[in-house]
């Protein structure tokens, strides 16, 4: 009998298992990416480049990054504050609120878009009221930011919450007894401790924002040079059977995803070091 610990030796069934795992990832992730890259480079780098720098494509990229940036700033502030309130304070229905934080993850993005139109659209009660004062939310940039805020709300909250929960208050206490103001305590002690978590949440939000499609395609109206974001531009090109045009921004978006993934891994390493 040659029975050793299962993870010490590689035998036939382990090999089969690993083969299956490699096959699945190869078929579903690696091969499609290679196919896309090949297709993009088929006509040479210069063709790809001209597809990226068309005015409409560049404008859609600009809108994507600007709305994502505004969303991240708001999300960092509100997400950290929400985590703070949920961890440090007690109030009625706190558990319900804590559960509902994940709602944006459970709701389909198209439904999110439809909900925002129902609430802020031209014929609805909030949208109609704001429309009287000339403020347009749906089919304009504020609608895009609102949609991004909705779909990425849980990221910062859920990243900061556990760190805040584990944070030892003795440092804050010590600073307090030494006469530090609340302002100083917050920016010199609380923020540095939470920083890796906040940045992780922000990176996740950003990755979601540049790829987001379902909610934006509903709320933005997809007007070129006004509210068309990058993912919607790619979809528009595919709709008009212009695969070449879609390739440029697809590659840009894919590269952004890679960069964010690497960044997130670095952040994780940093926050582990930070803990020790």
Q: Which of residues 220-259 bind another protein (CB under 8 A)?
A: 230-232, 234-235, 238, 243, 246, 250, 253-254, 257-258
C-beta of 134: minimal distance to another protein in Å? 21
One of 131, 211, 244, 270 touching another protein (CB under 8 A): 211
Binding mask 4-23 for another protein (x = CB under 8 A): -xxx--x--xx--xx-xx--
CA 219 to chain CA centroid, nearest Å: 18
Q: Which residues does 108 contact at the CB level (< 8 Å), separation at least 6?
A: 214
Q: Select 192 or 243, whichever has its Cβ closest to another protein.
A: 243
Round to the nearest angstrom and report the end-to-end CA distance of the chain. 45
Cβ(157)–Cβ(86) under 8 Å? yes
Q: Select 58 or 180, whichever has its Cβ closest to another protein.
A: 180
Please list every residue from 76 through 115 that binds another protein, using CB under 8 A: 78, 81-82, 84-91, 94-95, 97-112, 114-115
205 is a contact residue toward another protein (CB under 8 A): no
How many residues of this chain bind another protein (CB under 8 A)?
104
Q: Select 46 or 95, whichever has its Cβ closest to another protein.
A: 95
Cβ(200)–Cβ(122) under 8 Å? no
One of 116, 148, 156, 190 touching another protein (CB under 8 A): 116
Cβ(83)–Cβ(162) under 8 Å? no
Q: How many residues does the chain have?
A: 276
* H-helix or E-strand spanning residue 18: helix 12-25
Distance CA 258, CA 253 (A): 9
One of 30, 53, 73, 191 touching another protein (CB under 8 A): 30
């Amino acid at each position: 009998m040659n029975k050793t610990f299962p993870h010490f030796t590689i035998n036939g069934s382990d090999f089969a298992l690993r083969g299956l795992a490699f096959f699945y990832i190869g078929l579903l992730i690696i091969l499609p990416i290679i196919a896309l890259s090949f297709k993009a480079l088929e006509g040479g780098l210069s063709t790809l480049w001209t597809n990226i720098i068309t005015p409409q494509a560049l404008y859609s990229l600009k809108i994507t990054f600007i709305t994502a940036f505004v969303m991240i700033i708001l999300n960092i502030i509100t997400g950290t504050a929400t985590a703070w309130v949920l961890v440090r304070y007690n109030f009625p229905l706190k558990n319900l609120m804590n559960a509902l934080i994940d709602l944006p993850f459970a709701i389909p993005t198209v439904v999110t878009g439809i909900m925002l139109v129902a609430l802020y659209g031209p014929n609805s009660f909030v949208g109609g009221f704001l429309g009287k004062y000339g403020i347009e939310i749906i089919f304009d940039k504020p609608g895009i930011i609102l949609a991004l805020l909705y779909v990425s709300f849980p990221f910062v909250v859920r990243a900061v919450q556990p760190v805040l929960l584990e944070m030892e208050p003795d440092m804050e206490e010590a600073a307090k007894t030494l006469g530090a103001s609340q302002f100083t305590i917050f920016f010199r002690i609380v923020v540095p401790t939470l920083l890796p978590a906040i940045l992780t949440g922000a990176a996740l939000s950003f990755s979601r924002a540049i790829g987001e499609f379902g909610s934006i395609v509903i709320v933005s109206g997809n007007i070129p040079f006004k509210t068309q974001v990058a993912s919607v531009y790619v979809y528009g090109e595919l709709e008009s059977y212009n695969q070449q045009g879609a390739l440029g921004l697809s590659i840009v978006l894919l590269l952004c995803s890679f960069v964010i993934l690497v960044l997130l891994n670095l952040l994780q390493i940093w926050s582990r070091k930070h803990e020790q």
